[in-house]
Chains A and B, each alone.
Chain A
Amino acid sequence: MDVVRRNNVTVTGNPQGRTVVLAHGFGCDQNMWRLTVPALEDDYRVVLFDYVGAGRSDASAFTEDRYASLDGYAQDVVEVCEALDLHDAVFVGHSVSAMIGVIAADRAPKRIGALVMVAPSPRYIDDEGYRGGFSEDDIEELLDSLESNYLGWSAAMAPVIMGNADRPELGEELRNSFCATDPDMARVFARTTFLSDSRGDLERVRVPTLVLECTQDVIAPREVGAYVHRSISGSTLVTLDATGHCPHLSAPEATNEAITAFLAGIG
């Protein structure tokens, strides 16, 4: 199995530097990091990849079985680390990827030496004594609309369907090819993501961890950021003056500063 090809792994930056793995969340691919890479590439070796089912990964490697749980995605991370023989890398995960990183770090402690969690959420659905920001109905509604409004959602996905399988050459020209995702696989990823409950994994984190949250984030409200920070002993919480769920795009300077400061701090 060629993991590098399967996960569309890209390696850039300073080959002498410590390795930083940037992992995208649900909804996009490694292009999400385009404003982050320039801030890291002078001092760090930067590894980018797409989860199987996203971006330009090898869709044929996708099985619903494996990717119906976050473990499957964590396995992608571990296999990418193994393929590149990474040691003590810093894993930067956005959104659901932050939790995938937690699982991967637990499974491959030698490979992952630090975590940066960008807008993480260990559980999206409210629970007793826990506010995730969404009711069960909310999430069902999202999954339903992904399920039933196939054409509607595919306004964003259509170019992907055309561009990916049969005519890869089209991909370059298509506007939304940044976040190329097969709709069927995206549905599986959405279900896995938004129904996940990884709160129990947080306390097992033993590596230096930075938690980045935004002041206004519909998907990961501040209570969640505080919860993650509280659950990972010794973690650092930085609240970015940013709106939305993607501070690395909406407030790239502040996000990059927080990440590079953390990286410098852990030496």
Chain B
Amino acid sequence: MMARAGQHSDPHDADDDKTAQAAFAALLEDSAEDLYESAPCGYLSTLMDGTIAKINSTLLDWLGLARQDVVGRLRFTDLLTVGGKLYHETHFAPLLRMQGQINGIALEIKQADGGRMPVLVSSVVKHGTTGEPLLIRTTVFDARDRRAYEEELLRRQRLAEEARRQAEADRARLQDTFAVLQQSLLPDTLPELPGAEAAAHYHTASPDRLGGDFYDVFPLDGKRFGFFLGDVCGKGPQAAALTSLTRYTLRAAALHDPDPVSALTTLNKVLHERYSASGDPRYCTAVFGTIDPDPAAGRLTVHLASGGHPPAVVLRADGTATYLPTPGGLLVGVLPTAPFTAASTTLGPGDTLLLYTDGLTEARTGKDRTSLYGDEALLAFAATQAGRPPHAVIEALDGLLAGFGDGLDDDTALLAIGVPSSDDPTSETR
């Protein structure tokens, strides 16, 4: 075509043209009738009542029927399975009536040998000059392969659906297990402290993972109490095992020798002995301390030691908040022997000691969640709570944590111990 359109034609193009014309002529020998009869799809024309008026050889072959047994004798629905008949009557025919055409409907035709052949059927109504419907023209496409693919897709979809349900059930079961296990690593309730109060809060970052934070408050010798709060390295089952070992070691060590540095030293030995040999060193940070209440004087003395843990905050009745520094304490369990830093303070009415894990100070804040909450912000927040009893401080911090939203992606443990001021209306012993 290009050659003819141009100003001149070169011999090469002319040859191509001839070949193409010959091929085209061969195509033209294919009469319209032959095209109809031997088309790669079934053709069918029916009267408006469905009686078959014309049908091509392709479709007859598929059906395994002779023309004279079909034309004028059968209706379109006679070619269909029972399900197909019902579908035809309830969907296909009404839609065809309403729209004048319908496309790509999946049906099955019955074959003479008893087989069923999946097909895709499209129909269009031919109208007379005055708009009255005359007949229905239908094409029938072989959909055997397509049906096989569809069935495979369906099978896969069902499998995927099943797998998803199973996974959800497993996940729920795992979460239940975690919740129970997590609970077992935390105290059910805190003991009552004479003339003082303790409150705690534990935030689990994900129900799918065991957290690695821990705390406890427990009686030592009828007068004094021990407490600890810390954070083991890692997460999940290994962290839970480490937490368990840490908890029970600290409690046992404290009964033996309640001196905070001694308790952490014992823990260090145990963890190092347990894990360093395995080539999988595990460690924790922890604050361990004792409470020595003096209800008569309305105060209590706290001795504590820290192994690599963020410093406690002391909230004073006068509205100030300061860190109780414990610098230089080493991570617990890393080295065979480790120094731990001790500190002491006395809490009077309205004073509260706050322990926390770094989930709080390392919560991501800001619009893009890139800055950390930090020590300064915590101290400033603590100052706003200074003078309030431990449970109120914990409540306020709980609200602060909630405000972090998805910026809070680590577990967080909070423990507050204090002497409620006598004029605080919310004062109570917890």
A-side residues, CB < 8 A to B, are 25-28, 31-32, 34, 95, 134, 138-139, 141-142, 144-146, 148-153, 155-156, 175-176, 178-179, 194, 216-219, 243-246, 249-250
Known A218-B77, A219-B89, A244-B50: A155·B97 in contact at CB below 8 Å? no
Give the contacting residue for B118; candidates A25, A150, A152, A249; CB below 8 A.
Answer: A152
Bound: A178/B255 CA distance, A? 80
Give the contacting residue for B90; candidates A27, A148, A151; CB below 8 A.
Answer: A27
Bound: A253/B80 CA distance, A? 29
Interface size class of B (residues with CB under 8 A): 35 or more
Bound: A2/B275 CA distance, A? 67
In the complex, which residues of chain B have a beta carbon less than 8 angstroms from the beta carbon of A250?
A: 48-49, 93, 97
Task: Tell whether, in the assembled complex, residue A156 and residue B89 are in contact, meaning their CB atoms are under 8 Å apart.
Answer: no
B-side residues, CB < 8 A to A, are 48-50, 75, 77, 81-95, 97-99, 102-106, 108, 118, 120, 143, 147, 150-151, 153-154
Q: What's the least CB distance linking A177 to chain B, in Å?
A: 10
Task: Tell whether, in the assembled complex, residue A249 and residue B98 are in contact, meaning their CB atoms are under 8 Å apart.
Answer: yes
In the complex, which residues of chain A have a beta carbon less than 8 angstroms from the beta carbon of B48?
A: 243, 250
Task: Tell whether, in the assembled complex, residue B49 and residue A179 are in contact, meaning their CB atoms are under 8 Å apart.
Answer: no
Give the contacting residue for B89; candidates A32, A150, A179, A244; CB below 8 A.
Answer: A244
Task: Tell whether, in the assembled complex, residue A151 and residue B150 are in contact, meaning their CB atoms are under 8 Å apart.
Answer: yes
Q: What's the least CB distance linking B121 to chain A, in Å?
A: 9
In the complex, which residues of chain B have a beta carbon less than 8 angstroms from the beta carbon of A151?
A: 106, 150, 153-154
Task: Tell whether, in the assembled complex, residue B98 and residue A245 are in contact, meaning their CB atoms are under 8 Å apart.
Answer: no
In the complex, which residues of chain A have a beta carbon less than 8 angstroms from the beta carbon of B49?
A: 216, 243-244, 250
In the complex, which residues of chain B have a beta carbon less than 8 angstroms from the beta carbon of A194?
A: 86
Query: Could you name 15 residue pairs across A and B whose Cβ atoms are closer than 8 Å?
Result: A26-B90, A27-B91, A138-B83, A145-B87, A151-B153, A152-B106, A152-B118, A155-B105, A156-B102, A156-B105, A175-B99, A176-B102, A216-B49, A245-B93, A249-B97
In the complex, which residues of chain A have a beta carbon less than 8 angstroms from the beta carbon of B82?
A: 134, 138-139, 141-142
Give the A-B contact count at a CB cut-off of 8 A.
109
Bound: A149/B87 CA distance, A? 12
Task: Tell whether, in the assembled complex, residue A34 and residue B98 are in contact, meaning their CB atoms are under 8 Å apart.
Answer: yes
Task: Tell whether, in the assembled complex, residue B83 and residue A146 are in contact, meaning their CB atoms are under 8 Å apart.
Answer: yes
In the complex, which residues of chain A have a beta carbon less than 8 angstroms from the beta carbon of B90?
A: 25-28, 95, 219, 245
Bound: A26/B87 CA distance, A? 10
In the complex, which residues of chain B have a beta carbon less than 8 angstroms from the beta carbon of A142?
A: 82-83, 86-87
Most chain B beta-carbon neighbours within 10 Å: one of A27, A142, A152 = A152
Task: Tell whether, in the assembled complex, residue A245 and residue B89 are in contact, meaning their CB atoms are under 8 Å apart.
Answer: yes
Give the contacting residue for A28; candidates B94, B102, B105, B120; CB below 8 A.
Answer: B94
Bound: A32/B153 CA distance, A? 33
In the complex, which residues of chain B have a beta carbon less than 8 angstroms from the beta carbon of A134?
A: 82
Give the contacting residue for A152; candidates B77, B89, B91, B147; CB below 8 A.
Answer: B147
Task: Tell whether, in the assembled complex, residue A175 and residue B83 are in contact, meaning their CB atoms are under 8 Å apart.
Answer: no
Most chain B beta-carbon neighbours within 10 Å: one of A26, A155, A176, A245 = A155
Q: What's the least CB distance linking B148 to chain A, in Å?
A: 11
Q: What's the least CB distance linking B286 to chain A, in Å?
A: 53
Q: What's the least CB distance linking A118 to chain B, in Å?
A: 12
Task: Tell whether, in the assembled complex, residue A178 and residue B95 are in contact, meaning their CB atoms are under 8 Å apart.
Answer: yes
Task: Tell whether, in the assembled complex, residue A155 and residue B120 are in contact, meaning their CB atoms are under 8 Å apart.
Answer: yes
Give the contacting residue for A156; candidates B86, B91, B97; CB below 8 A.
Answer: B91
